[in-house]
Structure 1
């Protein structure tokens, strides 16, 4: 039993982790909105386990410093056969922890219903002469998930329901909502924000399913009198956030009201001076509803939840432990399984902290954070044999001796018997 480090194994583990990261990022970019996140996260960590496992295995084949030459001579074929078990173990733990991470506790409901409330008063002829707000809303509808419902309201002095709450589960409904938005036109009249929010709440209440969360996107370029404390209380009680967009507002009282509406209801305010940016702003608001996964930023009601922070960190600890134990199984060595397993727990804890406090919602920086987490998993597991001593200790047992062992024993005993007979 010795503390030792195979630097070649560390190097190959890092290479394998980097390759796995590239494959995993392709999976996230291609399937994040199409595959169930429980399955996708499980596959992601299975790929990581495969990359690191193959890297470690190749390194020990070249230089069997940790597992010994006898493993390479007698058990290498078994190690290749055991490699798929590491993938299954990583996939299983990743999928289960993702399932737990997605559970909603404390009355939290996933936001699936979006009500867009769009100002079409006469002043919009100056702030949005090309009606970019309608095309931005239509583009968002075309990109929404199939399990979303959307409603569209317009307002000036009065409020109109352009499209009631409609499921986007099929293309026919999606096209229907899209057409309703593109048929909208700027009208005359004032800006009745209070009435618009009241009607938006009525639309939300029309849905009898209590398990669905709702959100409002309110766009305006004006101001109206409103008792925010009283009129927004129902939104606060129901946990319905109102995200507000101020478009080219010159009167400072307008942004002040929209900021107050967002603050009171838990939404965010977006100040837009160029109507051409509305598409990006609509998409940014929608992205904050994103599905909660271990690999991406939390952007829903649990964004600042310490509970979900702890769940993510502990989940990565379990995934790292599973990865380390899987490597020990591949090498058919109980001492390596112990060392890699403890190292995997330590690396998983650190990787969880990196993901929890590093993910920001920006595509490029989040990819770098995930790369760092994967490399930390590979590196700490690879060097932890310098902390926990290892030696040869098979997990499997063979019931009979090999011919080589019998021959060696016989050749050792026979000369002793011959020498004894000569002595007589």
Structure 2
């Protein structure tokens, strides 16, 4: 069995409130299977695993790869588009861009660029929207499979209130999604998500078909948008006057459950939080896009008080950075404005093991337990002069982590490993 040891400072979470930290640690990886063999302090690991090749990452920190629970791969070229809130932003920027993904070469090239941007920012797993084109999903999964990365993706289902060239039908979206599930779900490290864009762009017939897909394929995911913007919510009320809330639209069609992730949830009522909690349905907190599009301030504390599973996400291209460190930076500020302090330990738990738990992947990724998949990153805590100066003043681990989430970005990622193989190395 080919083994390799990576030596550095190491940090991961065994469970939510149990952080394990080795100032001089070692991670043992099985190169052939791409899995974790052991983690511990360096001297103990060296004694237990003699004659194994060692790579020393001097003055670096090893952590599990970051996990992004809501992001749009076709929106790479939409990022940083000026001056619109959600619905105008979709019509002015997103829909015109997504129409170009009927071109297979464009979809393939963008998928590779997107994945490399994730790796460059230390993200090794993501829950991803493609476009309405079936071929865009094939392009994404083909690219992901080449890197052997664990990704979740789905074809957008959208049969109204969008350009004709971006609309499918209830039946074609059902048939295309089922074909993609059969081809890709649990194919290597690829997983499928049923993906109605949001209630505005799906007829009742299409939402019913989405619910049928979940019943027929109980291990797949479901991803969509929820209560991001006031105008959006009002439009949903016009389209579904018989339903008591935006969430109730999805509930009525059987879209809630432990593998369902609703992006945003900025404007939810108490009853919504209770129903999400009852069904173990998750919210993806998207701080940079909520601020950029002026959508509002998510109430993390309220969601957590109702025991709603909350993950954290970049939401590129409404979001403004692929970096989960920058995402934490903005999450901290939103929590401050809501009268809640986001602790650094809680923040790093969220983007590693916490997001793995929220995506029902904690048996595979999220920490360095023996047998888990070896997705990990090597971080440079002094990647900028300012970070190096700040690091010199940090007296505790919590201070170090907090400065990393406020000052860090892609420059802090020195190297990214997927299934034990390096897929990105900073030049």
**TM-score, normalisation: structure 2:** 0.30
Could you say which structure has the higher helix fraction?
A: 1
**TM-score, normalisation: structure 1:** 0.30
